[in-house]
Copies of this chain bind each other. A is one copy, B any other.
């Protein structure tokens, strides 16, 4: 045994690795047999059978019915239990002119199993608590919490936020202490660019540009699946590009020429620094006519072969929500 057993990278690590492998394979397959899981993972059926028993005992998988196998004894089906744990995400939107807290509970496949919207006075962290408390009672399986707010968190504290009263609030610690579960914070554009990255055929690198009517634009940047957050979580604050553009001026969004020129300058700036495969734009005022104009103006500023794909997205909230759910699920290590 001395020679064949791993001494440095030890047996416990291997066992943990194999458990993850089997759990992931069962999660992907949703329903499977020990034999099929062995085929997918390259592990022996003896090893897989032991791991599956442990997953069932721990609640991660459920036993299903027996199915015929080729000539041999019938095989037991095992089913991944996607509701063994869930996550709660909370983000804010303006709905009919009112600040609104949007709560979503998602299972381990990221499917939304509950959804609530509540008018919000975001004057303190405590303002969020009644909504969260009620969801935790409804869904005791909630095991992680994700906040999506339009601002910047650094070192666990909100350092910039559209709801000024929350600047300086220790959001991560506050909710981790209160609920005893892991908490993540991400802003809207960063979560949205991650959400786009979870789609089939996503670009390997992408910038998500959000143009509000009344404020400077912001961007979220994803490179090889990971957010580029910057050394003080300030990356993507493209409103500070020294382009001399009067962001927030109503004349800007009212003119197709002016707004397209402004957007093109931001896109070319992102392309010159990052060379992303894709840039996605969102702004309530943006239309396909703007997009065509933006593309023309970009080509006048940079060789076409160095420009990213440029497109409009229609559902910012969906991208934002998908990204936030994904980030919060990552906390679970399942």
Contacts and interface: CB of A to CB of B under 8 A. Distances in A.
A4 interface: yes
A273 B17 contact: no
Number of copies: 2
Contacts of A275: 229-237
Interface in A252-288: 264-265, 268-277
Contact of A5 (B4, B18, B41, B270): B4
Interface string A213-252: 0000001010100001111111111111111000000000
A2 interface: yes
A247 to B, nearest CB: 12
A64 interface: no
B9 A17 contact: yes
Contact of A274 (B18, B203, B204, B235): B235
A136 interface: no
Nearest to A298: B242
Interface residues of A, number: 58
Given A5-B5, A228-B223, A242-B268, A236 B273 contact: yes
Given A7-B43, A237-B306, A238-B272, 10 more contacts: A7-B18, A8-B42, A9-B9, A9-B14, A228-B274, A232-B275, A232-B306, A233-B275, A241-B269, A269-B273
Given A4-B5, A8-B21, A41-B8, A273 B231 contact: no
Interface string A98-109: 000000000000
A241 B272 contact: yes
A47 interface: yes
A298 B169 CA distance: 29
A230 B302 CA distance: 15
Contacts of A232: 275, 305-306
A160 to B, nearest CB: 10
Interface of A: 1-2, 4-9, 11, 14, 17-18, 21, 41-44, 46-47, 203-205, 219, 221, 223, 228-243, 264-265, 268-277, 301-302, 305-306, 308
Contacts of A221: 273
15 contacts: A4-B5, A5-B5, A6-B11, A8-B17, A8-B18, A8-B21, A8-B41, A9-B18, A219-B273, A236-B273, A242-B268, A242-B269, A242-B301, A243-B243, A270-B273
A47 to B, nearest CB: 5
A332 to B, nearest CB: 23
A277 B230 CA distance: 8
A308 B231 contact: yes
A221 B273 CA distance: 9
A197 to B, nearest CB: 14
B228 A240 contact: no
